[in-house]
Chain A
Amino acid sequence: MLNPVAAIGRAVLAACRTVGAVALFALEGVSHLLRPPFYGRLFLKHLAEIAYFSLPVVALTAVFTGMVLALQSYTGFARFNAEGAVANVVVLSITRELGPVIASLMVAGRIGASFAAEIGTMRVTDQIDALTTLSTNPMKYLVAPRLLAGLIAMPFLVLVADILGVMGGWLIGTTKLGFSSGGYLKATMDFLEVMDVVSGLVKAAVFGFVITLMGCWCGYTSRGGAQGVGAATTTAVVASSILILALDYIITEMFFGT
């Protein structure tokens, strides 16, 4: 007979096992960053893959987000004559939240899926076993350089997203909403604090690590041929997207919680 309590218990235990396994996987990956040999060429390759080749998609997303934010906040603030706060809202929203979160979600879709598919394919075609037989630790070769690349690349991408997001707001503010260029930028700089940018960059580093970790984990543990690789790719994107949003709240609470 189906026992709902037992089913819930099994689900909770399975979730705990997965969290523990991912944590151990992450620890092992990080530990390989501290012990030679180091794969510098692979690190640079992944750094370029994440930071350079994600630039167009992150840049476009950031610009349009800033433009929409300026337009929407202007419309809302106009109802109680607070249109002057548009620049402040745009810069705070972009640097603290939207820059890191939207850029990370874009990278999760692009890089998380790519890493999961590549490593998953290597798993189901015995390439990971082949690494071991060729005296190469797969965690050191496949996972560690990707984790480091994600950790370093995301803050760079978010910094670019911050600048372009604010410029998107400035573009709409000056061309459509009647703000003067100098006035908009002055309002932006007056309200911007170092901690706003720093908190966003900290989030970016954490999100970058999580995206690459989930991509590597899902690929590394994939089973069952093409279907397994497809499932790993989907799981990597969904899991990292949810983790990004959950961690966003936790980090925001740490920086700005009352």
Chain B
Amino acid sequence: MSGEVPKIRLRGLAKAFGEKKVLDGVDLDIRAGHGMVILGGSGSGKSVTIKCVLGLITPDAGRIEVDGRDVLSMKRREREELNDRIGMLFQNGALFDSLPVWENVCFKLLAQKRITRAKARDKAAEVLAQVGLAASVGDLSPAELSGGMQKRVGLARAIAAQPDIIFFDEPTTGLDPIMGAVIDGLIVDVVKRLGATAVSITHDMASARRIGDDAAMLHKGRIVWTGPASTLGATGNAMVDQFARGEREGPIQMELRR
């Protein structure tokens, strides 16, 4: 990687829940304007890593930098300003059940009073169109949407405030392959259009190759490999290749739960 300041830099990130050490010194650089895919088995600490960056979990040790600034030492106001520049697509969409779709999409803009309620419907229709949904979807409640539509609305909500960093938590989980490809295509399009830095965590190798420029493998709380996402499956790293190919035999020993 060149001498440019990474958009996000993690150094020695550690987090334990009771006796269980989930992150054990994560070091990772994420380039500005690129897509980083973090791979890893269940319980490897992928979600905890991005929750630490988002400020949802406080790490026990380590350093998180965004644009070269230490996030953990930021004052509350600074942290809120940083959050204003971040979007997040949750695994299950995490749409607010009590609000119609249009209010979900424009939630951040309304909360920050950057838009009036009267104009929010039009704005929601505009953003929904960007993710391939009709304006009429704005009047539905989240419970009336299919899984794929919920992901799209979640994506619309994540990009409505035009963030410059977007996190995607398992964006294709629970979707059929075609819908997964559609969501990946939308992600690539919106990230490119916004010029944003995208950080995704996924188990889906096809998705990882589609949405990632770079990839990193997290195993037992540590980054064990980083490299181009296009090489996944043929990286030369036995652990990554086993994971990418979904092979039973290899250096990763699965602990079967009784």
A contact residues vs B (CB 8 Å cutoff):
37, 118, 121-122, 125-127, 129-130, 132-136
Beyond the given pairs A126-B92, A129-B94, 5 more chain A to chain B contacts, judged by CB atoms under 8 angstroms and listed by A's residue number, are A37-B113, A129-B54, A130-B95, A134-B107, A136-B107
Name the residue on A nearest B81 (C-beta). Answer: A135
Q: Which of these, B56, B83, B97, contacts A135 with CB under 8 Å?
A: B83
Contacts of A129 in B (CB 8 A): 51, 54, 56, 90, 94
B91 A126 Cβ-Cβ under 8 A: yes
A-B contact pairs, 9 of them (CB 8 A): A125-B92, A126-B92, A129-B54, A130-B90, A133-B83, A133-B88, A135-B84, A135-B111, A136-B111
Contacts of A126 in B (CB 8 A): 90-92, 94
Interface membership of B86, Cβ < 8 A: yes
A135 B112 Cβ-Cβ under 8 A: yes
Cβ-Cβ contact count across A and B, 8 Å cutoff: 49
What's the minimum C-beta distance from A28 to chain B, rounded to whole angstroms? 13
Q: If A126-B91, A127-B94 touch, does A132 touch B111 (CB 8 Å cutoff)?
A: no
Contacts of A130 in B (CB 8 A): 88, 90, 94-96
The complex places the Cα of A135 from the Cα of B86 at a distance, in Å, of: 9
The complex places the Cα of A126 from the Cα of B142 at a distance, in Å, of: 14
Interface membership of B209, Cβ < 8 A: no
B87 A133 Cβ-Cβ under 8 A: yes
The complex places the Cα of A133 from the Cα of B94 at a distance, in Å, of: 11
Contacts of A133 in B (CB 8 A): 54, 56, 83, 86-88
State the 3 A-B residue pairs at the shortest beta-carbon distance, nearest first: A126-B94, A130-B94, A133-B88
What's the minimum C-beta distance from A129 to chain B, rounded to whole angstroms? 5
Name the residue on B nearest A132 (C-beta). Answer: B56
Name the residue on B nearest A41 (C-beta). Answer: B117
Interface membership of B108, Cβ < 8 A: yes
Q: If A125-B94, A126-B91, A127-B94 touch, does A134 touch B108 (CB 8 Å cutoff)?
A: yes
What's the minimum C-beta distance from A41 to chain B, rounded to whole angstroms? 9
Q: If A125-B92, A129-B90, A129-B94 touch, does A135 touch B108 (CB 8 Å cutoff)?
A: yes
The complex places the Cα of A7 from the Cα of B184 at a distance, in Å, of: 53
The complex places the Cα of A118 from the Cα of B96 at a distance, in Å, of: 11
Contacts of B92 in A (CB 8 A): 125-126
A interface footprint on B55-78 (CB within 8 Å = 1, 0 otherwise): 110000000000000000000000
What's the minimum C-beta distance from B171 to chain A, rounded to whole angstroms? 14
Most B-side CB within 10 Å, residue of A127, A129, A133, A136: A133
The complex places the Cα of A101 from the Cα of B235 at a distance, in Å, of: 69
B56 A134 Cβ-Cβ under 8 A: no
B83 A127 Cβ-Cβ under 8 A: no
What's the minimum C-beta distance from A142 to chain B, rounded to whole angstroms? 11
What's the minimum C-beta distance from A127 to chain B, rounded to whole angstroms? 5
What's the minimum C-beta distance from A83 to chain B, rounded to whole angstroms? 53
The complex places the Cα of A122 from the Cα of B98 at a distance, in Å, of: 10
Contacts of B56 in A (CB 8 A): 129, 132-133
Contacts of A134 in B (CB 8 A): 107-108, 111, 157
Contacts of B97 in A (CB 8 A): 121-122, 127
Name the residue on B nearest A129 (C-beta). Answer: B56
The complex places the Cα of A160 from the Cα of B83 at a distance, in Å, of: 46
Interface membership of B176, Cβ < 8 A: no
The complex places the Cα of A229 from the Cα of B107 at a distance, in Å, of: 25
Contacts of B113 in A (CB 8 A): 37
Query: Which residues of chain B in 158-197 are interfacial with respect to chain A, using CB atoms and an 8 Å cutoff?
Result: none
Contacts of A136 in B (CB 8 A): 107-108, 111
Contacts of B91 in A (CB 8 A): 126
A interface footprint on B90-110 (CB within 8 Å = 1, 0 otherwise): 111011111000000001100
Q: Which of these, A121, A122, A127, A132, contacts B55 with CB under 8 Å?
A: A132
Contacts of A132 in B (CB 8 A): 54-56, 83
The complex places the Cα of A126 from the Cα of B84 at a distance, in Å, of: 19
Contacts of A135 in B (CB 8 A): 80, 83-84, 108, 111-112
The complex places the Cα of A135 from the Cα of B56 at a distance, in Å, of: 12
What's the minimum C-beta distance from A119 to chain B, rounded to whole angstroms? 11
Name the residue on B nearest A130 (C-beta). Answer: B94
